[in-house]
Chains A and B, each alone.
Chain A
């Protein structure tokens, strides 16, 4: 009887946690931890776009560059697999691939690149100031490595994928290491 009484408070806490909002998340819940999505950038059709232009869609934000042969394609391919598993609902998701390498990633380069991953993928870039303003909101760092004689250089960038709901509120943090099932589960909840 004493044992039962001692675990009751713990049980109550667990119940409360499970009942809050009625939803559980399999990726990292960061609701309220960061500002709503806001940016002014250039899209792959060389048009100026704002975060508001994507209202109504669930957005996945990832920073990278097209001359990245390994990590960026793996991450985008992982997201593409998630969208395949989502089925028709994937039409309400937009993957915002923000290139922090505007020197090489011009709109035509971005357009060709995102097309290789899926119709929901949108390439965005901007001036250093515009990129910095967005990166600062989500505490994302990026930097440029030394330039090699052939002209190539590495861009260091954050590994995280930020997920925003249809109203532009930041909700989840995920990475290419979260199983596709987990990300699909959470996106379905955001798309409800």
Chain B
């Protein structure tokens, strides 16, 4: 009777232990990214704005940013400024990937979030933008609005 019960306990404990380890491992892999230096350059009127931020990924799996949303902006796209043969242009991108144990920079002259305003904002404001990653993770980032001339 005792032996049978012990076996049953082991039968329960072992899978539970494996499951717990598995969850812990996947939690490490899906660790949310970090965000720093988040700012938006203000422009007058209703012109589209550029947002910049550095995203860091401390997990062992690459993270893909697929979209962004905000109560302050009716539309957010990702764009890449490119200079070719002395000509400046910009291309939309659907997503950007932050490598495992790496970072991705949205920075002036490179990648930027292009933001279409729902309402007016001023230099000095702090605006919340939620970044959405493939797999469902989301990161809420506060962007500081700076003046046009920096």
Question: Which A residues fall within an 8 A CB radius of B?
Answer: 64, 66-71, 73-74, 76-77, 80-81, 109, 112-113, 115-118, 141, 145, 150, 152, 154, 156-160, 176
Contacts and interface: CB of A to CB of B under 8 A. Distances in A.
B87 A81 contact: no
Given A70-B109, A74-B108, A113-B47, 13 more contacts: A67-B47, A67-B48, A69-B41, A69-B49, A69-B112, A70-B79, A73-B41, A73-B148, A112-B45, A116-B42, A116-B44, A159-B83, A159-B87
Contacts of B41: 69, 73, 77
Contact of A159 (B88, B114, B147, B148): B88
Interface of B: 41-45, 47-50, 75, 79, 81, 83, 86-90, 108-109, 112, 114-116, 147-150
Contacts of B75: 150
A61 B48 CA distance: 23
Contacts of A64: 88
15 contacts: A67-B48, A69-B41, A69-B47, A69-B79, A69-B114, A70-B109, A71-B81, A73-B148, A74-B108, A76-B149, A113-B44, A116-B43, A117-B148, A156-B88, A160-B86
Contacts of B45: 66, 109, 112-113
A113 B147 CA distance: 12
A161 B81 CA distance: 18
Nearest to B75: A150
B48 to A, nearest CB: 5
Contacts of B109: 70-71, 74, 176
A150 B43 CA distance: 20
A152 to B, nearest CB: 7
By Cβ-Cβ distance, the 4 closest A-B pairs, closest first, are A69-B50, A116-B148, A80-B149, A156-B89
Contacts of A117: 148-149
